[in-house]
Structures are given as C-alpha cells and as structure tokens.
Structure 1
Amino acid sequence: MRGRPAGGGARMTPIDASWRAAHPLPAIGDGLDKNARGKVLLVGGSAFVPGALRLTGEAALRAGAGKVQLATIDTAAIALGIAFPEAAVIALPADKHGEIAAEAHKRIEPRLDSCDTLVIGPGMMPRPHTAMLVKALLARHGPDASTLLDAGALTAMHGEEDAIRSLAGQIVMTPHPGELAALTGFDKSRIERDPEAAVCVAAARFGAVIALKSTETLIADGAGGLLRYAGGSPGLGTAGSGDVLAGIIAGLLARGATPLVATAWGVWLHGEAGALLSRKMGSLGFLARDLAAFVPALMDQG
C-alpha cells in the first residue's frame, strides 16, 4: 500500500452462532406479503457476461426478498427475463463494448422510488463512463434506502469517496483483494499481507461496510468493528460465486437488515452453502448457480 494503513488493531470477532444469535435477521411475520419483504433493483450484466444478474437475482429471492427487478443491456433483457420468470426486466442501452451506456441512468432512475435495495455491478466491467453512471444512481437513490456495489461498479469508484460517503453508511461493497486495490489505490500484495488493516482503512475512508473476499472473509464497518468468516469451501472460488454473494446480501438488506448484519449473515450463508455442497458433490466442481438453493434452510437453522 502507499503508506501502511493504520487500523489493523481492531478487535476481530468471528461470525459464529453467538454472534448470529445476538444479531438476528428481521423476523418475517405470518402472512407477510412480497411487498413487505422488500424490492431489489439490480443493475448490471454485459454482452460478455449476460447471465450474471440471474445469479444475483435468484440469490436475492432465496434470501427472502419479495421482488426483484433486473436492469441490463437491451440485447440480453428478453433472454434474461425468459430464463428468470420471477423477475421483472428493464432493457438498457449499451455502448459499443456491450456494457451499460452512460445515458442508461435515465431509464433506471424512475424505478428507484419504489426500490428498497439497489445493487450495481454484477457482470459489469468498468468503462470511462461507469463512475458517472454509478454516481448519478447513488445521488438519486440517496441514504434512505440501501445500496450494494460490486465488481465493475465498485472498482470504477476510485477517488469517489464523497459520493459513497453521502449515503451515510447505508452502503455495502464486496471486493476481492484486486478490486480493493483498484478502489483504494493500495498495493494488492500489501492488502494480501495485511488484510485486516486494509479493510478497516477502506471502510473508514468510504464510510461503508466492506466485505473483503478471500480464503477467509473480513468485514469492516468503518467504525472500528471487524468480523471474520473462515469457513466455506475451496469450491467457492468459482465463476459467479461473488454474484451470488451480492444477491444474498441484497435480499437481506431489502428485508430490513442493517448493512453490517446483512453482510455478515450473507457471507455466512454463502460460505455454509459452499460447505454443504462440498460434502454433497465434492470440494471442487460445483457451480455458483447451485449455492442459492441452500440459503432458505440455512436461514431457518441460523
């Protein structure tokens, strides 16, 4: 890193049964309908990865969200809607590279008023205009509802601390070490040597809950709190796994969990789903699309 980040002295707490019991997910009462469980709006996908939003959207519904809307490039929208009939689909203009175009925010913004949780980034690569697109949506969405940034939308926000801090802590970011390096300007090798310090400094700088994904996942809340999940399975290192994690967290946010609780539970559910699949199918070779089906039962078990 450019200057060793301070903050590695934060007390690290495991996301174990005691922590989960002390930080339960929002209860779902008898007869609670889909509208009361929250609506997730997902923005992402590209010509290169047209199916990423399906993984994220299905995971959000498996985590208990009531409704999901998918906003993606127009050439992928119809196929995505047919493959995922539970979701509504919004077709967006694409640029010449097959990524969401800068002017797409004009089609997305009218949907934000009825959105409880906004997710931007799965299946996206950063383009020169991506930061402008993300900033426009963040400004319109505001801090009254929750937001999650992942993948290309996250890395495009290097130097945009003010835009993220304006959300008053109602935002989650889910980088791996390379993405955290792109977001912060820290050296990746130093992040890998001292991940606790790196994630704490980044969370404080951006005023966000940050989950740093690696062989173990660290979650910092920007106020000195640091959580650790060391379970899971090597098989979780597979294409699309991060898209599923983003969806689980988004579903919990839409239900009313705080950013820290939603992120910690999401990381635990994702990791435990991977552990279950390892026992059932083998430690390697299961697919990201296999994970979300295990989430409902894991939530019930707590």
Structure 2
Amino acid sequence: MSPTEATTVTSAVLRAWPLPAAGGGKDARGRVVIVGGSDQTPGAVLLAAEAALRSGAGKLQVVTAASVAPALAVALPEALVVGLPQGPGGDVDPDAADEVVSTADGAAAVLVGPGIRDVDVARELCERVLPRLGDVGVLVLDAAAHAWVGASRGALRRTGARALLTPNPTELALTLGVERDAVTADPASHVRELATSEGVVVAAGGEESWTSDAEGRLWVDQAGGAGLGASGSGDVQAGLVTGLAARGASPAQAAVWGVHLHGRAGDRLAASVGRLGFLARELGAEVPHVLTEIEA
C-alpha cells in the first residue's frame, strides 16, 4: 500500500476537523471508565487515567484489583476508584464481571485492558463484559484485551459497540494471526485489514502511527520519535483517545487526534529533555499545551 493513499495528519488537518466544543461542566465532557491494572501493574491504569483527564474528559472512574485500589485512589484524587476481587495472578477476577458492567453502564467512553497481565484472564473478562457494553458511547480496547478480539473474531462487531482498538505492532500481529515482521513491513495494510474485518477503528503505533476506520480510510502520523518507544507510552495514548471519545469525538476522530497529541507531546519532551530518556508519565502534562497550539 502506498502512503499516498493515506491522509498525513498535521495541525492543519486537525483544525479542519475540530473536536466537539469543550464548554460546560464536567458532565458535559463525559464520563470515562478504565478497567485494568493488577497487583503488579497499577501504573498502567494511572497513566491512562491521567491522560484521559489531560485530553479533556470530565469525569473519571477506575475499576481495578482490590489490593491496589487504595493506592490508586490516593494517586488519582480526581477519580472514583472501585476495587474488585482479584484472582491468583493479581488481575481483576472475571467472576466480578457484573460489577464491571454496573460501573461502566452509561459511560461516554470505556477503556479495557491497561495493566492486565494474564492474557487468559483478559480474554475471559472481555468475554463476560464486552457483549454487555453495547450501550456505552465508545469502547476502547488496549493491551491484553486484544487477545479476546483475536480469539473471537467477529464477536466485537456483534456487540454493536462503537469500538476503537489501540494495538502495538506485536498485539496487532497476534490479533491477526500473522508474524510481527509482516506487520512492521506493511503496517497500513494490516491496520486496515483489522479495522474493516471487525468493523472498528484501529490505531497502531510504530515508527509511524497508522489509523484506519471501518471503511478503510487511512491516516498516517509522523509526529513523535524514538523516545515514545518507552514503557507506559502506549497506556498514555490509550487514555488520550478514550478521553477525547468521552468528550464526544467519534472513534475515528478520537484516534487520529489522540495519536497526534501523543506524538506532539513526545516532540515537546524531546526538545526540552532529550530525544531519549523522557518518561511516559511526563507526556500528559504536555497535552494541554499541544491542544492549545493546534486549536489556536
């Protein structure tokens, strides 16, 4: 596939595709629910949650393993944190699916996956939860949650959810059942294949970031750099797109804008800190500045 078939994302492109107005109180900017984390990886949820607020979401709720919920509640004073029973591996127990659904019901955007360590647990939790979330505004799947998509091809389409997937190249390859080298050699075709076959939006990072909607329209984003290839960076991007979706952006718009905000935040840190060595936790604070620069 030739890159000329894709729209290259720039500030001008985004200004011509403005986000929904951000006026009003917190209720007007949507409620985000983030489901994930484990006793060893609560930081993934923390990064995603803060990013959702940095991109303008109004309200934040987190569903995570009971053992880390108190610490997350202190680290995220802006959020309601729900601690649920956890299994032997430290992830949220799939038997707590009813509580997950109850919390997520009616949310503007729900993110599932950051910090879930056990792929089998992720698949089972998704199997029990996702078919019951068809009435949420936008459903975002990240990290281990992609395992359910790969194991249950077509099931996501049948939920009726407006869905957005944020795989890294390895997760994209596993979801499609192909070699990672094939994805890195031609990311555009593989992103488009997953998006059109599942009827969703897919945003996948790499040296360039590619986004496709369910109709096969492509966007390529060259913002960011090597510094974004760091632990936790993908959690930040997933949180950004979820926050934008909560504000009322469509899945495609949330993905395209969120990927660009993530990349431009990395560019700012590369200039002020260094091309390598900045931390994922530092990206979020740059996002409001990038939003102002684009929207000015």
**Of 110-119 and 243-252, the range deviating more from structure 2:** 110-119
User: Which residue is 2:8 aligned to?
Assistant: 14
User: Which residue is 1:43 aligned to?
Assistant: 35
User: Which residue is 2:155 aligned to?
Assistant: 163
After TM superposition, give the deviation of residue 120 of structure 1 in Å: 0.3
Residue correspondence of structure 1 range 86-125 to structure 2 within 5 A: 86-125=78-117
Contact 2:116 2:122 (8 Å CA) reproduced: no
**Of 143-152 and 244-253, the range deviating more from structure 2:** 143-152
After TM superposition, give the deviation of residue 59 of structure 1 in Å: 0.5
2:171 matches 1:184: no
User: Which residue is 1:4 aligned to?
Assistant: none
2:264 matches 1:269: no
Find runs of 4+ consecutive structure 1 residues off by over 3 angstroms: 7-10
Change (3 A) 1:143 1:184: farther
User: Which residue is 2:17 aligned to?
Assistant: 23
User: Which residue is 2:53 aligned to?
Assistant: 61
After TM superposition, give the deviation of residue 260 of structure 1 in Å: 0.5
Greater fraction of residues in helix = 2
SS of 1:286's equivalent? coil
- What amino acid maps onto 1:16 in structure 2? T
- Number of corresponding residues: 294
Query: Among 174, 177, 194, which residue is 2:186 paired with?
Result: 194
Residue correspondence of structure 1 range 247-258 to structure 2 within 5 A: 247-258=239-250
User: Which residue is 2:126 aligned to?
Assistant: 134
After TM superposition, give the deviation of residue 94 of structure 1 in Å: 1.1
2:232 matches 1:240: yes
After TM superposition, give the deviation of residue 276 of structure 1 in Å: 0.2
Change (3 A) 1:282 1:156: same
Is there any run of 5+ residues in structure 1 with no aligned partner, and where?
1-6
After superposition, the C-alpha distances for 1:245-265 in whole angstroms (9 at most, x for unaligned) are 011100000000000000000
**Of 128-137 and 77-86, the range deviating more from structure 2:** 128-137
Change (3 A) 1:141 1:243: same
- What amino acid maps onto 1:24 in structure 2? P
Contact 1:37 1:64 (8 Å CA) reproduced: yes
Whole-angstrom distance in 1 between the partners of 2:12 and 2:264: 16
Whole-angstrom distance in 2 between the partners of 1:241 and 1:232: 11
Change (3 A) 1:187 1:8: farther
2:63 matches 1:71: yes
**Of 132-141 and 209-218, the range deviating more from structure 2:** 132-141
User: Which residue is 1:218 aligned to?
Assistant: 210
Change (3 A) 1:169 1:104: closer
Q: Percent same amino acid at aligned positions?
A: 39
Whole-angstrom distance in 2 between the partners of 1:138 and 1:210: 17
**Of 245-254 and 167-176, the range deviating more from structure 2:** 167-176
After TM superposition, give the deviation of residue 155 of structure 1 in Å: 2.4
After TM superposition, give the deviation of residue 157 of structure 1 in Å: 2.5
Whole-angstrom distance in 2 between the partners of 1:161 and 1:9: 27
SS of 1:42's equivalent? strand
When normalised by structure 1's length, the TM-score is 0.93
Whole-angstrom distance in 1 between the partners of 2:121 and 2:61: 23
After TM superposition, give the deviation of residue 78 of structure 1 in Å: 0.3
- What amino acid maps onto 1:142 in structure 2? G
Contact 2:131 2:156 (8 Å CA) reproduced: no
After superposition, the C-alpha distances for 1:29-65 in whole angstroms (9 at most, x for unaligned) are 3xx0101110000000012212211111111001110
**Of 197-206 and 269-278, the range deviating more from structure 2:** 197-206
Change (3 A) 1:10 1:210: farther
SS of 1:166's equivalent? helix
